[in-house]
Structure 1
Amino acid sequence: MSKNISEIFGSMVFSDVVMKEKLPKDVYKSLHKTIGNGSDLDITVANMVAIAMKDWAIEKGATHYTHWFQPMTGITAEKHDSFISPQSDGRVIMEFSGKELIKGEPDASSFPSGGLRATFEARGYTAWDPTSYAFVKDGVLCIPTAFCSYSGEALDKKTPLLHSMETINEQALRILRLFGNTAAKRVITTVGPEQEYFLIDKKFYDQRKDLIFTGRTLFGATAPKGQELEDHYFGAIKPRVSAFMKELNEELWALGILAKTEHNEVAPAQHELAPIFTTTNIAVDHNQLTMEIMKNVAARHGLVCLLHEKPFEGVNGSGKHNNWSISTDSGINLLEPGKSPHENSQFLLFLAAVIKAVDEYQDLMRISVASAGNDHRLGANEAPPAIVSMFLGDELEAILGSIENGTEYSGTEAATMEIGVHVLPNFIKDTTDRNRTSPFAFTGNKFEFRMLGSAQSVSGSNVVLNTIVAEELEQFADILEKAEDFNAELNKLISETIKNHKRIIFNGDGYSEEWQAEAERRGLLNLKTTVDALPHFVDEKNVRLFTKHKIFSAAEMHSRYEILMEAYIKIVNIEALTMVDMAKKDFIPAVSRYVGSLSATAASVLGISSRVPCLAELSLIEKLSGLNDETYSEVTALEEALKGAESCGEDTLKLGIYYKDVVLPIMDRLRSAVDRMEENTSAAAWPVPVYGEILFEI
C-alpha cells in the first residue's frame, strides 16, 4: 500500500473537513444550516460551494461532473458534462455554477416511471442532496441527487428515503421530549448493510450465456462437492481473492466508505464485506457504490463479481443484512437498553413501537425485499423464510412477558416489571445471535433485517422501516402527550402493545414445518413469491400510511407497484428466452453429437465382435436420447408458454401470475432435463463450464 489508511480514507470525498478548509466561514455555516435543518440554500452560497467543489475536483483529476442518482432500475445513473466553457479567443475555461450544482435536467424517457409520465413528457430533474457528500470517481465529480419527473413525482429511490428519515425524526423527537430530553435536535436512523457476493473466473463467465444475460446459472448439475464440509466459511482467503479485496478496500476507503470486515462465506466462491454503520441515506449511497466498485475491481483481476441472489443451485445464495438502528444527533442509541429506569422505559417504548410496526406492516417488510432473484433464495434453508417474524432472544422476551402480565421477572434481578419505577435487569445482550432463520433479529442495540437480496438497493427496506416505526411513534406520542399520569399511561401502553402484537415474536427455527403451521395459526402472512406480495403494496392501509407521512403520493405508489411487477415479468421472460436459446443451440446439439459418437463407437465394436455387448454405450445412448427428447419437448412447451403470455394483455398482475404459475414450472422441468443430461455426458462433450470448475477454480 503506497499510503496509510488515514491518508487514503475520504481522499476522494468533498467531505466536511474539505468544505471547512475550502469554503469561507459564512458560506460553510450556511451550508451546514442547510444540511442540518433542511433549510433552503441561497444561490449565492450555492455558487461559492460550486466553485470550491469544482476546484477541488480538478485537483483530484476530474474533468467532468455528473448528477449521480438512483432511478427505479435499482442501480445508479449518471450523465457526464465537462467543466469546459468556450471563450471568444478560442480557448476554454473551467466553470461550474451553483445552478448546475443544485439542479440538472436529464432525459427521463428511458427510466421506469410506472405510468407517471408519457414519453413526450420525458424531461426529469435531479436535485442536489447536500446531506450526502460529493465525490470523485473515475475522473468525474459525482454529486448525489434526488430524481423527479417534470410534474414533481419521485422517480428514484432517494427522494422517499429522505422523506422517511424526516418523518421518523419528527415523531421520535416528540417521544424524547416526553422523557425530558430537550438536548436532542435531530434523530437519525443508521444502517450498516453487510454485502454478500460471489467471485468467479471471467473465462468461465464468458462461456455461460445464462450468467451474461441473467446473472445466474439457469442450468447446472450439482458438483461432487459443495458446502457440506463447511470448510469455506471463514477459511483462508485465496491469493487472487485477497488481492481483489485489498484493491477493493483502498477504493472504498478513498470514497469514505467504512469497509470493515471481509471473509469467506458459506458457499464455495462466496464472500462478504461488512461496513461500519452510518446515516441511512449515506449508507444507501455507499452500498450502491460498493456494488459498482466490486464489479469494476473484479474485472481488473480477471474475475467477475456476481451479485445475484441465487447464482448457483444447490449452494447458498447471497443476501444483504440491513443493520438498522435509531440514534440522536449526539450519538445516543435509542435501541440501547441502558441501565437507569429512565433509559429502560424509553428503550422499551421504542422497542414496543418496532414490534407493533413489524406486526402491522409485515406485508410491507416482505414487499421491500421482493424480487424475482430473491424468490429463489428466501426460505431455501439458507436465508430467512418469507414469513416475517422478529427474534428478541429468550431473556428479552421473558422481560416483555413480565411487563405484559405484571408479574415478577426471575432473571438476573427479580423485580415486578412496572415501567418507570423499577430498573430493567441488565440482561446479557444477544449481540451474537446465531438464529440465522430469523428475518428481523434484535442484536443488542439494533435490528438486523436479513431478508434483503444481494443485488437489491437497501433504500426500499429502510423507507419501510423508517415510515412504519414513525407511524407507531406518532400514535404513542398522541396518547402520552394527553396523559395525566405519564408513568401509568406509559406502563399501560407498553403492556398492551406487547399483548396485542406478541404474535410477531418468534425465537425458534424459521425453517421448520411446525413454524409454517404455527405462523398460520397466529395469523401471520406467508407471501411466498414476489407476485403474491406486490399487490399488497397498494392495499388501502398502506396507501393511507405513505400518503399520510408524505413519503409517496397514491399515484407514486401505484407506479412503483407497476415498475416492480414489470421488472419481475421482464426478468423471468429474459431467463426463459435464455433457456430456450441455450437448450436449442448448445445442449441439444452437443448431446446429439455425443450420442452420435457413442453410436458410432458401439456400431464399430459390435461390427467387429458380437461378443462385446457395449452395455455402457448402449445404455448411455438410450438414456441420453430420451433426455434429449425430453429437453426438446420442454423447450417447445416453454416457447408455447411464452407466446401464451400475449393473451394476458397489459394487465401486469395477470402477467405476473401467468409467469409464476405457468412459465416458471416449465423452466424448472427444462432445467431438470438438461442437468440430468450433463450428469451423463462426457466432460469434453459438454458445451459450457460446469459447477465444479466455476466454483472451485479460482
Structure 2
Amino acid sequence: MIDVPGIFASNVFNDEKMRVRLTQEVYDSYRESIENGTPLDIKVANDVADAMKEWAIEKGCTHYTHWFQPMTGITAEKHDSFISPHADGHVIMEFSGKELIKGEPDASSFPSGGIRATFEARGYTTWDPTSPAFVKDNTLCIPTAFMSYTGDVLDKKTPLLRSMNRINHESVRILHLFGKTDVTRVDATVGPEQEYFLIDKDVYERRKDLKYTGRTLFGARSPKGQQLDDHYFGAIKQRVKAFMAELDEELWKLGIYAKTEHNEVAPAQHELAPIFTTVNIAADHNQLTMELMKRIARKHGMVCLLHEKPFKGVNGSGKHNNWSLSTNTGENLLKPGKKPEENTQFLLFLTAVITAVDEYQDLLRLSVATAGNDHRMGGDEAPPFIISMFLGDDLEAIVEAIINREEYESQGKVVMNTGAETLPEIRKDTTDRNRTSPFAFTGNKFEFRSLGSALNISCPNIMLNTMVADVLSSFSDELENAADFDAAVRRLIRKNLKKHRRIIFNGDGYTDEWVTEAEQRGLLNLTSTPEALKKYTLKKNLDLFKRNSIFNETEVKARQEILLENYIKIIDLEALTMLDMAKKDIFPAVSAFTGELAETIRGKRAVSDDIRVDAEVKLLSKLSDLLSQFSDKIDELDSKVGGSIAYRKNIQSHAEYCCNEMLSTMSELRAISDEMEMCTDSKHWPYPSYGQLLFSVQ
C-alpha cells in the first residue's frame, strides 16, 4: 500500500523543505524576491544553494544539472558533480549560489534559427526559482531558462515566463478597476491531458519506421480497430495497470498531480490527466511526465508512443490544454457564476478571450503546427484546422442577447430524469461538449484541443497569455478614464462581441458546410505546417510580441526558421526511412512471394493441365502489377528527395516542397504497399502487422 501523502513531492525541494532548512531571514528574503520579481541577493542564493545541496546529497545525489527546454521540443541537461578539490588531495562537496543561478551550456549546438553560429558557442542557463528543483536519477535538477550570449531567447521557458508576467499585470489592472484591490497576482493555470499509445517492445523493435520516426509509414488496417468502441474507458489490462501504478508513484514523488487515467478510444491508447497548476510548472511537469512515460514503459516490456498519429486509420493522440486564470485570493476569473448574464467581470474576461482568439487565430494554429500533428488534425476526434470557439448554448445565447440589446432569460439547471427510482437526481450542465471544437469553453476554463501529444505546452500558452493580456491592456486603456465605468464596460463588451462573434461556432467542425461557412466568415483554414508558420512574421504578430516584450523580431524569425527546419528534417527522415524499408525489405519480400507463387503454378501445371491455377495466376498478376507500380513510385520518391536540394536556399519554399511534393508521393507509395500487404503471405511480410502492434499488450 503506497502512502501517497507521505511520498508526494518527496523528490522536490519545495517551499516546505525550504522553511525547514533555511533561516527565517533567508527564507523571507527568498520569498520576497520570488513574489516581487526582484534579483536574488548572492548571500541568500548561497544559503539556498547550500541547503539544496545538503538535501540532494541526503537523497543520494552526487551531481546537479541545469534542466532546460531548448527549441528541440525536449529537455536538456549537462551534469556537474558537487566535488571541489581540497588542499590535502581530498575533495569536498560544494555548491554555490553562483552555480545555482547561472550555467554555461554550448548554445551553437541547439536550434537557434541563425542567432548562434558554430564559432559563437557561448550560452547561459539561469535558474527559474518559481519552479522547484527536484531529484531525478540521483541528480539534482534545477529548472532554468536558456539564452544566447547576445541575450536572445533560445528556449521555451523564458517567453512563457514573460507571457505570465503580462497576463498577471493586465488582469490585475482590470480587477482593480472593478474595485478588487486585494488581488495582487493572477496566474494562468493549465491542466494538460496527455494521450499516448503503449505497444509491446519486441514488436516495436521489428518496425524501422517506429524506431526512426515514431509513426508507421507503412501498414494495412487491422480487421479490428476501434470500430466497436470497446477500448474506450474499458477495463485496464494488468500489464498496463502495472505501468500506470509505477508512473503515478514516480510522478507523485516529483510533486506532479497525476489524477485521472483511462483507456482512450483507439486500441492500445491511454490518457493521463493532472490537476491544474501554474502554467510554467505545468509545462515542466508535462515534460517530466512524457520522459517518465517512455522510461517506465520500457521497464514493463513496452514502448510509449507520443507521436500524434502513429497509426493510420485510428485516433491520433492529442494533449488537451485546459487554460484558466486564477487570482491570489482564490477566484477563477473564467467561472461564470450562477447568473453569468449579470456577472460583468466574467463577461469582460470572456470577451477578452473571444477577441484575442479571433484576432490571433493564426498564432493559435501555428503554435500547434508540426509534421505529426498535420496527420492528426481534421478527424478522428481531433479538431479541424480552422480555429473557432465553442461556448455552449447558454453562453452563446447571452452573447447574442448582449449584441442585440435583448433581455436574456435563463432556463436554469434542468434536472435529469433517469426513469429509475433508485438513481439519485442529477442536474444537467448548461453546456454540452463539442469534440470537434479546437477551443471550447468547459465550465470554468477553455480547453484548447488542437495540441499534439508530443508538443511542449509552453508554445500555445505563450500565445494564449500574450494575446489575452494584450486585449486586456487595450480594455484597461479604454476603461480607466471612463466617466461612467459600468456603462463603459457594457459598451466595450457589446462592441467587441459584435465585432468578433464570427469566431464562435457551436456546430460540427468536421462538415464540408463548416469549411464553406468559415471561409465566408473570414476565418483561416491553414491545413499544413508550412502554411501556418508563414503567418508568424506578419506585422500584426511582430507588433504583438514587441508590444508585450515577449520576442524581438530576430527571435520571432529564428523561431519560424527553427520550426520550418524541423518540419523539413522530419519529412526528409520519413522519406528516407520509407525508401530504406521499400527497397531493402518490402520489395524483396513481395518479389520472393510472387516467385513462390510462380513455382506453385508451374508445379501444378507439371502434374496435370486439369489442375486449376486461375486463383494463383490472378494473385500473381495482381501482385506483379502492384510491384511494378511500387518500383516506379520508389524511383519517383527517390527523385523528389534528391530534388529538394534545389529549394534549400529558401527555407519556406523548401518546406512547401516537402509538404506538396514529397508527402503526396509518400502517401501513394504507402497505398501500394498496404494493398500488397493484404495480398502477401504473412510469413513473407517483413514487418509486424497493425493487428500485432495494436493488440500485442495483453
TM over 0.5: yes
Name the residue aligned to 1:299: 298
- Give the share of equivalent positions with the same residue, in percent: 63
Q: Report if the CA contact (8 A) 1:194-1:320 is conserved.
A: yes
Matches of 2:652 and 2:338 in 1, distance apart?
51
Note if 1:571 corresponds to 2:570. yes
Post-superposition offset of 1:595: 0.9
Name the residue aligned to 1:646: 645
Matches of 2:199 and 2:442 in 1, distance apart?
33
Summarize deviations over 1:513-535 as a string: whole Å, max 9, x none: 11111101100000011011001
Matches of 1:342 and 1:211 in 2, distance apart?
51
Post-superposition offset of 1:338: 2.5
Summarize deviations over 1:589-648 as a string: whole Å, max 9, x none: 011111111111111111111111212221221111111111111111001001111111
> Measured at CA, do residues 430 and 103 of structure 1 come closer, stay the same or move farther in structure 2, by a change above 3 Å?
farther
Name the residue aligned to 1:362: 361
> Measured at CA, do residues 657 and 337 of structure 1 come closer, stay the same or move farther in structure 2, by a change above 3 Å?
same
Name the residue aligned to 2:554: 555
Comparing 649-658 with 250-259, which one deviates more in the overlay? 649-658
> 2:12 is paired with a residue of what secondary structure?
coil
Q: Report if the CA contact (8 A) 2:111-2:562 is conserved.
A: yes
Name the residue aligned to 1:118: 117
Runs (5+) with no aligned partner, structure 2: 413-426
1:328-367 superposed matches below 5 A: 328-339=327-338, 344-367=343-366
Matches of 1:170 and 1:202 in 2, distance apart?
49
Post-superposition offset of 1:37: 1.4
Matches of 1:343 and 1:150 in 2, distance apart?
52
1:41-440 superposed matches below 5 A: 41-339=40-338, 344-412=343-411, 430=429, 433-440=432-439
Matches of 1:347 and 1:685 in 2, distance apart?
63
> 2:642 is paired with a residue of what secondary structure?
helix
Summarize deviations over 1:188-235 as a string: whole Å, max 9, x none: 100000000000000111000000000000000000011000000000
> 1:120 is paired with a residue of what secondary structure?
coil
Name the residue aligned to 2:497: 498
Matches of 1:662 and 1:616 in 2, distance apart?
38
Q: Report if the CA contact (8 A) 1:393-1:442 is conserved.
A: yes
Matches of 1:554 and 1:75 in 2, distance apart?
24
Give the letter for the 1:450 counterpart. R
Matches of 2:114 and 2:503 in 1, distance apart?
36
Give the letter for the 1:470 counterpart. A
> 1:121 is paired with a residue of what secondary structure?
coil
Give the letter for the 2:628 counterpart. D
Summarize deviations over 1:631-687 as a string: whole Å, max 9, x none: 111111001001111111321101011111110100000000110110000111110
Matches of 1:649 and 1:431 in 2, distance apart?
53
Post-superposition offset of 1:342: 11
Q: Report if the CA contact (8 A) 2:394-2:431 is conserved.
A: no
Post-superposition offset of 1:308: 0.2
Give the letter for the 1:594 counterpart. F
Aligned length: 684
Matches of 1:178 and 1:258 in 2, distance apart?
34
Post-superposition offset of 1:340: 7.2
Matches of 1:154 and 1:672 in 2, distance apart?
43
> 2:119 is paired with a residue of what secondary structure?
helix
Name the residue aligned to 1:632: 631
Note if 1:4 corresponds to 2:8. no
Name the residue aligned to 1:519: 518
Runs (5+) with no aligned partner, structure 1: 414-427
Name the residue aligned to 1:606: 605
Matches of 1:164 and 1:5 in 2, distance apart?
34
Summarize deviations over 1:133-188 as a string: whole Å, max 9, x none: 00000000000000000110000000000000000111111100100001011111
Name the residue aligned to 1:419: none
RMSD after superposition? 1.3
Q: Report if the CA contact (8 A) 2:267-2:694 is conserved.
A: yes
Q: Report if the CA contact (8 A) 2:196-2:304 is conserved.
A: yes
Matches of 2:155 and 2:544 in 1, distance apart?
19
Q: Report if the CA contact (8 A) 2:201-2:302 is conserved.
A: yes
Q: Report if the CA contact (8 A) 1:381-1:511 is conserved.
A: no
Matches of 2:259 and 2:36 in 1, distance apart?
30
Post-superposition offset of 1:325: 0.2
Q: Report if the CA contact (8 A) 2:107-2:116 is conserved.
A: no
Matches of 2:629 and 2:34 in 1, distance apart?
63
Post-superposition offset of 1:312: 0.2
Give the letter for the 2:327 counterpart. T
Q: Report if the CA contact (8 A) 2:314-2:380 is conserved.
A: no
> Measured at CA, do residues 345 and 303 of structure 1 come closer, stay the same or move farther in structure 2, by a change above 3 Å?
same
Q: Report if the CA contact (8 A) 1:337-1:343 is conserved.
A: no
Summarize deviations over 1:522-557 as a string: whole Å, max 9, x none: 000000110110010100000000011100010000
> 2:640 is paired with a residue of what secondary structure?
helix
Summarize deviations over 1:55-114 as a string: whole Å, max 9, x none: 000111111000000000000000000111122222211110000000000111210000
Note if 1:28 corresponds to 2:27. yes
Matches of 1:170 and 1:32 in 2, distance apart?
19
Give the letter for the 1:100 counterpart. E
> Measured at CA, do residues 284 and 643 of structure 1 come closer, stay the same or move farther in structure 2, by a change above 3 Å?
same
Which stretches of structure 1, 4 residues or longer, exceed 6 Å deviation after superposition?
Answer: 340-343
1:613-692 superposed matches below 5 A: 613-692=612-691
> 1:119 is paired with a residue of what secondary structure?
coil
> Measured at CA, do residues 240 and 480 of structure 1 come closer, stay the same or move farther in structure 2, by a change above 3 Å?
same
Give the letter for the 2:393 counterpart. D
Name the residue aligned to 1:418: none
Q: Report if the CA contact (8 A) 1:244-1:297 is conserved.
A: yes
Matches of 1:382 and 1:446 in 2, distance apart?
20
Comparing 87-96 with 386-395, which one deviates more in the overlay? 87-96
Q: Report if the CA contact (8 A) 2:195-2:317 is conserved.
A: yes
Give the letter for the 2:483 counterpart. E
Matches of 1:40 and 1:83 in 2, distance apart?
25
Q: Report if the CA contact (8 A) 1:167-1:470 is conserved.
A: yes
Name the residue aligned to 1:425: none
Summarize deviations over 1:293-348 as a string: whole Å, max 9, x none: 00000000010000000000010000000000001112210111125789810000
Give the letter for the 2:622 counterpart. K
Name the residue aligned to 2:418: none
Give the letter for the 2:184 counterpart. K
> Measured at CA, do residues 55 and 500 of structure 1 come closer, stay the same or move farther in structure 2, by a change above 3 Å?
same
> 1:326 is paired with a residue of what secondary structure?
strand
Note if 1:40 corresponds to 2:36. no
Matches of 2:149 and 2:452 in 1, distance apart?
32
Name the residue aligned to 1:480: 479
Summarize deviations over 1:244-284 as a string: whole Å, max 9, x none: 00000000000000000000000000000000000000000
Matches of 2:203 and 2:546 in 1, distance apart?
48
Post-superposition offset of 1:431: 7.8
> 2:641 is paired with a residue of what secondary structure?
helix
Name the residue aligned to 1:420: none
Q: Report if the CA contact (8 A) 1:393-1:430 is conserved.
A: no
Matches of 1:625 and 1:341 in 2, distance apart?
67
> Measured at CA, do residues 624 and 70 of structure 1 come closer, stay the same or move farther in structure 2, by a change above 3 Å?
same
Matches of 1:618 and 1:35 in 2, distance apart?
77
Post-superposition offset of 1:443: 0.6
Matches of 1:78 and 1:630 in 2, distance apart?
48
Matches of 1:431 and 1:546 in 2, distance apart?
36
Post-superposition offset of 1:412: 3.1
> Measured at CA, do residues 80 and 259 of structure 1 come closer, stay the same or move farther in structure 2, by a change above 3 Å?
same
Matches of 2:604 and 2:558 in 1, distance apart?
67
> Measured at CA, do residues 429 and 519 of structure 1 come closer, stay the same or move farther in structure 2, by a change above 3 Å?
farther
Q: Report if the CA contact (8 A) 1:69-1:144 is conserved.
A: yes
